[in-house]
Copies of this chain bind each other. A is one copy, B any other.
Amino acid sequence: MSIVLYDLAGADPDLRFSPYCWRTRFALAHKALPVETVAWRFTDRDAIAFSGQGKVPVIRDGDTTVFDSWTIAEYLEDQAPTPTLFGGPTGRAHARFINAWADSVLVGGIARFIVHDLVDAIHPKDHDYFRSSREARFGESLEAVQAGRDQRLAAFRDLLLPIRLVLRRQQWLGGAAPSYADHIVAGTLMWPRCVSRFTLLEADDPVSAWLERVLDLYGGLGRRAKQV
């Protein structure tokens, strides 16, 4: 029986762009677990009320409901230990740092480049919720948040230096093989890739070359993903 994933979608139901849902998509594919995705919009609270909260990713695995991308990754690793996402308890603990870094530095950094592009991608019924919640978070209009992004690009790229240093020495963030660390960072980068035409990474950045490798994993799951 397939695992059901409630997956953030745009106006186009095939446009899937959540940085957290992509972490889960990659983790499920890594485990070769069959998945059936359900297109979900920000305001579809009732559809996931069974999970006791209001955000995706949420998965249903038979009678079990799990939400939050990190918790889902731990659940999948515990249910189906191989192929491993974490490589043991220490690898899991260290991956939590990479997850925390991606959540704070990477998601926060990318948001200011694409948050207004997101308005054009999301379902019209989500517009009011999205704009009011995000403008409250940033304390200014979405137009103002995204303004001047060309001038901020070099500083954003500097934030990726730790990834670049790692990729000088190993092919994947997981070492000789992809791990959940790759899913965390690549899943986060699927977000701008899918909803914005803005170029965040330079073509000759080693991070770009690594992302291309991730896009080819799991039968090209990331590469086939719809983009605006």
By a beta-carbon cutoff of 8 Å, the part of chain A in contact with chain B is 84, 86-98, 100-101, 103-105, 161-163, 165-166, 169-170, 172-176, 179, 181
Contact = CB atoms under 8 A, between A and B. Distances in A.
Contact of A94 (B94, B100, B105, B163): B94
B94 A98 contact: yes
Contact of A105 (B87, B89, B96, B162): B162
Contacts of A172: 93
Given A87-B91, A88-B87, A100 B181 contact: no
Given A94-B174, A103-B165, 13 more contacts: A86-B90, A87-B89, A88-B91, A89-B176, A91-B93, A91-B94, A93-B175, A94-B94, A94-B97, A94-B98, A96-B170, A97-B163, A97-B173
A169 B88 contact: no
Contacts of A95: 94
Nearest to A108: B161
A179 B94 contact: yes
B93 A162 contact: no
A90 B165 contact: no
A173 B100 contact: no
A181 B95 CA distance: 11
Contacts of A86: 90
Contacts of A103: 165
A90 to B, nearest CB: 2
A176 to B, nearest CB: 7
A96 B175 CA distance: 9
A74 to B, nearest CB: 11
A90 B93 contact: no
Given A97-B97, A104-B162, A161-B104, A90 B179 contact: yes
A100 B161 contact: yes
B165 A93 contact: no
Contacts of A176: 89, 93
